[in-house]
Structure formats: structure tokens, C-alpha cells
Chain A
């Protein structure tokens, strides 16, 4: 599988209150054509920033180093015209469709905006938009095209968002928590539509979520982020069964199990840190139950281990004993 998107040592700093703060540190990822990669992590871990960097949507004043390559082209240095063309090939779906669709323009206007720009006639564009709406399960598309965003429910609007993205026939979809703002039943529907259409059309997907299980269900591989770094990349199905990084293991352990009754939910001690406040050594060291002195000394590299990658010095020796180590740590604190 050739890499469609290749993120190589991407570091990004944002201007916050006059000072530059690191939000992404040495992020490396690849997504093959038609492959789905899940990106999981807590809020503020840099998931969305990674997607924004790929879409060249970082806030003004942001500084980046490293490389983002799409189909071999360097994305970070594209000129305005090439950037627009690139954005046609990479579509984004955002968390809150209500905020991300212009409230004063009709659905049809929103959907066909880029088509019309390519010289497609109004009637033809409307027909294609209605067709795309049918593809996402909205049957009365023609009527919807005349409506305004506030006349549609959140789930419907997110489908409109997906349909709009389909019209551009992108090769890569960046989905930033596309179902977080929706209610649970709608979430499942929207996710199923997205998954089905992606397979049907062979689109690659970068799926950002904080739901490990959801990521495992729709993605081929999953990358785990912590404090602006990738700490583990793994086949999605193996992530919670055989975690390589103590953070992933702790996340998996913290997930409530419907079959087991517990008096208290397990939690990871401490609070998540942002990239700019991460300690010099391993960013997770202050919260890790398996921490050793050498973990705090230098930042561990992202090493290959079996079929995955992990940023932990003890990964090899803790292999297979991670979950037990977490439980022991829990027990000793209790």
C-alpha cells in the first residue's frame, strides 16, 4: 500500500498570548490510499491540530517544521492555487455541523458552491447535490436544497456535510470527531454512512475521536496521541487487547465494562498535559505506573515494535504484562 498522506516529524507551534507554544511534537503518520487511520487521545492532545495542519488550517501565526506530503507533494509549501486544488482532494468533516455550515445560505447553495466554481451549471449542480443527499440517506434531497441550515436537525446537517464532501470526490477525508455533537442513535447512523461510503469509493480516512472502540470499529490502524506526540500506532483491533504503551493500556483499563460492576471507575492519575508543558523526558512519565528513572531523562523515540510503533523505553520488557502492571498500580494507590 503506497502512502497517500505522509506526515513526517511534524512539529507545530502556535502564538498564544504573545508566546510560541508547542502543540505538536515530532508527529509522524502515514495513511495509505483507501486506508482508515484512527487518531485517538484526550482533549488537547493534538488530534485536531494534526488534522488542521494537514488541511493547512492552523491559526494565523503558527510555525511548523517537518513535512506533510500528499501524494508525494509537500503540502506545507503549496502556493495559493495549488493549495486550493489540494483542498479539493482532501475534504474535512467537522465536529459541529451547525457551526460549520453558513447559517444564512441555503443548503443547495452550500453544497454546490465549489461545483459551480468549476463551471457546472446550476441545474446540473443541484441534480448532483440531490443525488449525493440520496447517497447519505436523505431521500427528499430536492426539498432540502431549498432549506436553510436551521431548518435541519444536527444529524441531518452532518449528513449534508458528508454529502457535500462526496461531491468533491476527495481522496482523503479528515473527520474531526464527526459524531461528537450528535445524539447516540444519530451517531451510529452517521458513522455507518461514512464507513460505507468510504469503502465504496475507496477514500482514505483520518478519523479523529476519543472513542477507542469506535476507532477500532471503523479504522484499519489507530494512532494514540498524548501531549502533542504520537505514543503508539497499532492495528486498530489489537489496540485494547495488546497495548504497547502504558498510556494506551491505562486508557483501555479506564473504560467502564458493562459486564463488570465496579464501585468506582478506574482513572489515570494526574491530569493530561499539553505539549508545551510536557516534561523533558517521556511526556507521560508523571502519570505512568511503570515509570523508571531513565524514562524521565530523555524523550523516548517512536520505535517500531512488531507491527506497530511505540514511544516507550520499557515497551519491549513490559510486552504482555502491561494490563497487569496497570492493575497493580491501581491497587497500590487504592
Chain B
């Protein structure tokens, strides 16, 4: 267990290192000049440009630039934004909250509604099942930016039940503001989780060991809880974990649509202006969150399925 976590942590560090270099390299070959944002399109005298270049290390070769950034990052300083003239640390600190809350809200929706409706559909044939199948077929096909537009136009503009923009001021108001974004973010993932849950439950119901449990005279609710749902939890956990991990990246789209001041929207604008340090910092946070979520799922998995040994090598 401890060795598994340690190995995973080492892998996380390695992943971050590789990811950071890949992002740095791809940004540097992308067209555009970070200084053009700073100068605002004005033509500066070459001396002034040279000073700016030197200040942001833009005059040095790529490996040196990367090295500067890396040593800073290892000391906990993610550099500073060229466009916003702000330290990346503060920028992330200010914006991580909204993104985290949005993803958490969407995850709760997925866990409750996705898994819940999947279990119901799996256990009950007939109307409930058909409704869930029809609903999830539609929802799974709706990308989050379309969902965002539809939700805004119906529930915010027409009905006026929810605000269309912004993240609110905290507490209940924050929850109210984040409801539509969370739904937009969760919708298609929720549908996929519901479908996988339904199939897993159905599959377990047909298993021989469930028949054994029935043949032994166990009451139905125990058969379902201890044998059907318990075993179906294994594939459900896998899919839910991957889905939730991918929400972090997807949140960028939803944050833009609802004008939420989160990491995702900052990442999009920073990438557009080639703001290296910001892109780097946020991307690393996203990568780390993804890897950590998956590690948690793996730990859960080993806990749920005794046949899986943690970090197993063939015995």
C-alpha cells in the first residue's frame, strides 16, 4: 500500500516534468509573440523590446528558458504572467477555488444522479429502464458547450430561475450560481456513467454467484446490496473516476460559457496570448489533479476487488 502510493507519487513527478516540457516546447513553436500583448500592438523602440525580452528571459534559447522556469517552480515560484503582470501563484490561488467547486459540484451530480439512475434502470426493467436509456442517449450526445448555451437560454434567460453569469459571492449564492455550469459540465459524463452502471448492474444480476445467493434463500435486498451492487461497484468506480478526472480539463469550456473566473478560462486566454508561465502553471495543476484522481481510483479498485493486487507484478 505505502509502496504503491510512493511509486505513484514518483510517477506523478515524472509525468509533471514531461508534461511541463511538452507544454513549454509546443507553446514556443506556436505562432505569436508574448510581447505583442504587453506592447498592445504599439511599436516599441528596439532597446525597450530588448529590455523586456531580457526581463522575461525571452532572448535565451528554449532549454535555458525552461530551466529558469523549472528551478523557479521547484522553489515554489511558478513565475509571473506577462499579460496580467501578476504572479502565477496568486493567479492560481485566486482562481482555483471556483474551478474546484465547479468540478466538485459536477462530480456530486454524477455520483448521485448518474450512478443512481443507472442502478435503478439496471434493477428495474420496463418504464424506468427505457426512460433512463432514452434520456442518457440524448444527454451523452450533448457536448458541454451546447448544454451551457441551452441551459443559459432556457433556465437563465427565459425562466430566470438561475443567473447566467458569474460565480456569486459564496455560500448558498455560490451554489445557486454554479448550478447551471455544474449541470452543463456533468451532463454527458453523467449519462455515460449511468449507462455503464446500468449495464454493470444488469451483468451482475445475471451472474452465477448471484444465483447461488438467491438459491441459498437470502432476502432480495441483501442479494442486491451484497452481491449485485458490491460487485458492480468495480467497473462503476473505474468509469466514474476517469470521467471525473476529465471534468477538470472540460471545465475550461464551461467556465468560458458562464464567465466564471476559474482556472480553465484563465488557461484559454493565457494560451491565446502565449503567456507561458500561466499556461504552464495551470496545465500542471490540471495534470496533477488528473493523475491524483486516477491514483485514488486505483487505490479504491484494489480495495474493491481482492483479485487486484496493488501495483501488481505477476506472482
Task: Tell whether, in the assembled complex, residue A92 and residue B212 are in contact, meaning their CB atoms are under 8 Å apart.
Answer: yes
Cα–Cα, bound, A105→B208 (Å): 14
Is A87 in contact with chain B by the CB < 8 A criterion? yes
Give the interface segment out of B62-70, B165-173, B226-234.
B226-234
Docked-complex contact B208 and A113, CB < 8 angstroms = no
Q: Give B274-315 interface residues, CB cut-off 8 Å to A.
A: 304-307
Q: A84-B218, A100-B208 are in contact. List 5 more A-B contacts (CB 8 A).
A: A85-B217, A88-B216, A88-B217, A92-B215, A106-B306
A102-B227, A148-B307 known; A57-B208 Cβ under 8 A: no
10 tightest Cβ-Cβ pairs between the two chains A and B: A87-B217, A99-B208, A84-B217, A102-B209, A148-B306, A92-B215, A100-B212, A100-B208, A88-B217, A150-B307
Say whether B216 contacts A113, CB under 8 Å.
yes
Q: Are B306 and A114 in contact (CB under 8 A)?
A: no
Name, among B211, B212, B227, the residue most crowded by chain A CB atoms within 10 Å (CB to CB). B212
| Residue ID in chain A nearest B304 by CB atoms | A104
Complex CA–CA separation, A84 to B223 (angstroms): 12
A56-103 residues at the B interface, CB under 8 angstroms: 57, 80, 83-88, 91-92, 94, 96, 99-103
In the complex, chain A residues 30-67 whose Cβ is within 8 Å of any chain B Cβ: 55, 57
- Cα A305 to Cα B130 with chains together (Å): 55
Q: Which residues of B contact A91 (CB under 8 A)?
A: 215-216
B11: interface (CB < 8 Å) = no
The answer to whether B227 and A57 have CB atoms under 8 Å apart is: no
Specify which chain A residues have a CB less than 8 angstroms from the CB of B19 in the assembled complex: none
Q: Tell me the nearest residue of chain A to B212, going by C-beta.
A: A100
- A99 and B230 within 8 A (CB): no
Name A151's closest neighbour in chain B (CB-CB).
B306
Interface residue count on the B side (C-beta < 8 Å): 23
Encode A99-126 as 1/0 by CB contact (under 8 A) with B.
1111111100000011001000000000
- CB within 8 A of A103: which of B209, B211, B217? B209
A168 at the interface (CB under 8 A from B): yes
Chain B residues, Cβ within 8 Å of A96 = 208
**Docked complex: B52-75 residues within 8 A CB-CB of A:** none
Q: Does B242 contact A (CB under 8 A)?
A: no
B312 CB, nearest partner CB in chain A, Å: 13
Tell me whether B7 is interfacial, beta carbon within 8 Å: no
**Set B215, B231, B305, B306: member contacting A57, Cβ < 8 A:** B215
Question: What distance in Å separates the Cβ of A87 from its nearest Cβ neighbour in chain B?
Answer: 3
Contacts of A99 in B (CB 8 A): 207-209
The verdict on B214 contacting chain A, using a C-beta distance below 8 Å, is yes
Q: Given A102-B231, A104-B231 in contact, is the A57-B214 Cβ separation under 8 Å?
A: yes
Confirm or deny: B213 has a beta carbon within 8 angstroms of a beta carbon on chain A: yes
**Known contacts A103-B307, A117-B222: A87-B212 contact under CB 8 Å:** no
Contact A104 B217 (CB under 8 A): no
User: Across the interface, which residues of A come within 8 angstroms of B31, CB to CB?
Assistant: none
Q: Return A28 CB to nearest CB of chain B, in Å.
A: 23
